[in-house]
Amino acid sequence: MAKNTDWFRKARWGVFNHYLAYGASHQGGDGVSPEEWNARVDSFDVPGLVRRLQQVGAAYYFITLGQNYGFYCSPNETYESLVHQMPSRLARRDLVGELADALTDAGIRLMAYLPSHAPANNRPAVEALACTPAWDASQWQLRPGTYLRTAETDERLSTFQRHWEAIIREWSLRWGKKVHGWWIDGSYYADRMYRHTDEPNFASFSAALKAGNPDAIVAFNPGVKVPVIRYTEHEDYTAGEVADALPVGRWGHAGFERTEGTVDGAQYHILTFLGEYWGRGEPRFSEEMVIGYTRFVNDCGGVVSWDVPVSDDGRIPDAFVRRLAALNQALAAE
């Protein structure tokens, strides 16, 4: 197992926020304007969030840069030069950069979330970035016939991959060692796009993510997989997305076996939602359940990231704060 995951294992658990213009996996048309998005991002109370994370004892914190509509909570000149969308959907405020500074001062590590593909529900960006496959990419909400294709778009979406790596590299270099990891969503088409010896591939994608911090840890999400898998040798920890089934091990040659710390050499990690769905709803688990499952995964040498809702201004609801604080208290007492 890579040395750069030692801190992650010792952290035991952390907090994940889906901070988006629309809810996670939302479909249903535009309704948020760039000005409204900027107003939301401008309202985010960074010191207030940091105090909450300190209150619950979180050792690390994940935030989404953006998802399917092209609204990102940090500016990026490379993206703007490629997409040319006016008015821009990228926030003027570098929220991630401000969080990186404040969390570093507080001794909490920042991690970032980004999809593997262009924002599927923003057609101008999809076309400008050449994320226009001839094959059905419905898992990305992209289907041939819903966008214009260019002659340079090959089977592997090589042009898009190079564009996306350049965009990511700018962010990574800007934040440097203040961003300690990346969780890349939607890496569903690995055999078509990334499992190749020549670039672009998983190696070049990982290199772009780590451009600003070679010690950053990276995971590529293949979707919900139970038992949890390591998707590629180029990831340091498992994405571990789970929803309605919480893994407790797997069947092996000797019968049922616990996962013990690593999965094919990657740090064992679980990501699931504490609310009714990603980023919303009331808590679906009691304090006892949150404590019990986190302790179980920790005892296996694993790490748990709990996704909780967050308001536009960066406030985590009290019901979730209580559960996370109880978790911290229970584990600290061991």
Tokens encoding 69: 């509509």
Centre a 10 Å sphere on the Cβ of residue 52 and count the other Cβ atoms it contains: 22
With H, G, I as helix, E, B as strand and everything else as coil, classify residue 191.
helix
Enumerate the domain spans of the chain: 3-332
What tens-digit pLDDT sequence spans the chain (334 residues)? 556 899 999 999 999 999 999 978 766 666 899 999 999 999 999 999 999 999 999 999 999 999 999 999 999 999 999 999 999 999 999 999 999 999 999 999 999 999 999 999 999 999 999 999 999 999 999 999 889 987 778 999 999 999 999 999 999 999 999 999 999 999 999 999 999 999 999 999 999 999 999 999 999 999 999 999 999 999 999 999 999 999 998 887 888 888 989 999 999 999 999 999 999 999 999 999 999 999 999 999 999 999 999 999 999 999 999 999 999 999 999 8
Using alpha carbons only, give the angle 219, 140, 155 rounded to the nearest 5 degrees. Answer: 90
Q: Which residues of 3-24 are buried (b: 16+ CB within 10 A; e: fewer)?
A: ebbeebbebbbbbbbbbbbbeb
Give the start-end residues of each E strand in the chain: 13-17, 60-64, 109-115, 179-185, 217-220, 250-252, 255-257, 262-263, 266-267, 269-273, 303-307
Sign of CA dihedral 270, 73, 153, 172: negative
The per-residue pLDDT for range 261-314, each reduced to its tens digit, is 999 999 999 999 999 999 999 999 999 999 999 999 999 999 999 999 999 999
194/333 Cα distance (integer angstroms): 44
pTM of the entire structure?
0.96
Half-sphere exposure of 286 (CA within 13 A, CB side): 3
Answer CATH for 3-332 from 3.40.50.11900, 3.30.70.270, 3.20.20.80, 3.40.50.1100: 3.20.20.80
